[in-house]
Amino acid sequence: MIFNPNAETLAKDKLRALQTESLQNIIQYVYSNVEFYKSKYDALGIDISGIKSLEDLQKLPFTKKHDLRDNYPFGLFAVPQEKVARLHCSSGTTGKPTVVGYTKNDIELFSEVVARSLAAAGCKAGMKLQNAYGYGLFTGGLGLHYGAEKLGMNVIPISGGGTERQIMLLQDFQPEAIAATPSYLLSIIEEIERRNIDINTLNLKYAILGSEPWSESLRKRIETGLNVKATNIYGLSEIIGPGVAQESVDERGTGSYIWEDLFYPEIVDEKTGEPVAEGEYGVLVLTTLTKEAMPIIRYWTGDITNLTYEHSKSRTLVKMGPIVGRADDMMIIRGVNFFHTQIADVLEAYDFASANYQIELTRKSAMDIVKVSVEIEDAFLKSCDISKISDENKSSSEQLLQVRKTLEKKIKDCIGLSMEVCLCNIGDLPRSEGGKLNRIIDNRNI
Ligand code: DLL
């Protein structure tokens, strides 16, 4: 379903005209209301009256995470404190968090984009949503909550964690939809399976998953494990929270629509900052076109993805590919650029491999060593007459040796790096306890 057909199916020329007008307004607005932008543009000799078209945006500098930190907590706000209706923080940072603020209109905007996202995910008014994103400073919980209410859903605000309780409510309240990080939903599925609960006794149809990178094989695992259609939701606190982009339930696997009438996207080269050709990968840069409390111009998200303009079916808006990594968590191992999601891509081709993996980096005499731990499906072990992988059968079982060799060769061929593959049982690797899952352990002490 399309929540806001006016915006989501706007003719391309009208969309560009709307974006251009909003852009001119927002640049004027930040220049007049945020000292940070005024002094930055003045220092660079930028005359903002020269920003007339969407292409002119490239004349402006990027805003980066450190700009938010340097202006902690409220330095980038464009409105006085009494106009701020809510504060949130960005997750996963060490030290001081990144603070973002919303006026009442911004909260309305936040609800609108999440309502659009939930509708695209298959949700409808009257359905129940079990909201397993964390409530609090993190934008996931309250963001999904308000958007679901705007769509007319009945929200179950359970927040993240408490897997037993999650399962009890799935059984007792019979929600049609669940929102969670994909790694946490996998934890819930595994617990459901451990307890032999028949998924036909549940009423779930849709899962809205995001806040961390995930793969097609994890999608397959979740869709079959829960009998749902699982779609991607993308967003970040600096821009608004969840609901910057969303996959349509009928176009799964083909990218997520960016609500570009409100958030203008660019893809730039990570090193030069110059725009890349359509379809090429680079850093996603976003400009909020209408936000009031903390508008942000050319925000360097650090997320690596690509944009395609011409393949959209149901909507006229641009589609964003999956996030393949973050510019700042790209690892450079023995000179080769490497994102952990490339491991997910390799594993996807093999039925014996689950979607769960972990990467450990160590350093031996100035040389980086990468160990990839992969959980092997029980069904495969059964077919080899192995009940569990043990230290002993790792080196004695011909099938396990073959699996390890196959993966090591494929990784070398696809990524260009030799890595040691370590096979383990389903359940051996850490699970999400409600939030984002960290798949990389860096023991290099650098
Ligand atoms: O994670 C907002 C969110 C909540 C999105 C719930 C979706 C669902 P932050 O904590 O500020 O905000 O983290 C933002 O998370 O820059 C990406 O690196 C990553 N991220 C978010 N969604 C996705 C996704 C929320 N669908 C950072 N795929 C972003 C991959 C994602 N990475």
CATH, residue 372? 3.30.300.30
Q: What is the tens place of the pLDDT at every residue in 195-247? A: 999 999 999 999 999 999 999 999 999 999 999 999 999 999 999 999 999 99
DSSP state of 319: E
* CA distance linking residue 285 with residue 398, whole number of Å: 49
CATH, residue 131? 3.40.50.12780
Please state whether 162 falls in left (phi above 0), alpha (psi between -120 and 50) or beta.
left
Domain count, the chain: 2
Q: What is the tens place of the pLDDT at every residue in 134-156? A: 999 999 999 999 999 999 999 99
**Which residues lie closer than 8 Å to 201 by C-beta, 6 or more apart?**
171
CB under 6 Å to ligand 1: residues? Answer: 90-91, 133, 139-140, 210-213, 232-237, 241-242, 301, 303, 323, 326
Whole-model pTM: value is: 0.90
Closest ligand 1 atom to 90 CA:
11
- Are residues 218 and 121 part of one domain? yes
Listed residues 301, 327, 353: the one ending a domain: 327
* CA distance linking residue 119 with residue 101, whole number of Å: 26
Listed residues 327, 354, 382: the one ending a domain: 327
Q: What is the tens place of the pLDDT at every residue in 237-260? A: 999 999 999 999 999 999 999 999
- Are residues 321 and 368 part of one domain? no
Protein residue closest via CA to atom 22 of ligand 1: 211
Listed residues 327, 343, 373: the one ending a domain: 327
Q: What is the tens place of the pLDDT at every residue in 383-399? A: 999 999 999 999 999 99
- Are residues 320 and 391 part of one domain? no
Q: Which residue has the tokens 């994890």?
A: 218
* CA distance linking residue 270 with residue 339, whole number of Å: 14
- Are residues 354 and 305 part of one domain? no
- Are residues 1 and 112 part of one domain? yes
415 membership: H or E segment, kind and range: helix 398-415
157: cis peptide before it, omega within 30°?
no
- Are residues 437 and 367 part of one domain? yes
- Are residues 302 and 363 part of one domain? no
Q: What is the tens place of the pLDDT at every residue in 337-352? A: 888 889 999 999 999 9
- Are residues 290 and 356 part of one domain? no
- Are residues 436 and 383 part of one domain? yes
Please state whether 325 falls in left (phi above 0), alpha (psi between -120 and 50) or beta.
left
- Are residues 248 and 105 part of one domain? yes
- Are residues 253 and 350 part of one domain? no
With a cut of 70, say whether residue 91 has pLDDT above it: no
With a cut of 50, say whether residue 93 has pLDDT above it: no
**Which of 137, 233, 236 best tests ligand 1's pocket when mutated (most atoms within 8 Å of CB)?**
236
- Are residues 320 and 336 part of one domain? no
Average pLDDT (327-341) is 82
State which residues form the domain around 134. 1-327
Closest CA to 117 of 207, 6, 186: 207
Average pLDDT (37-63) is 97
Asked if 290 and 261 touch (Cβ cutoff 8 Å), the reply is no
Task: Give the burial class of 105: count Cβ atoms within 10 A of its Cβ; 0-12 exposed, 13-18 middle, 19 or more buried.
Answer: middle
With a cut of 80, say whether residue 320 has pLDDT above it: yes
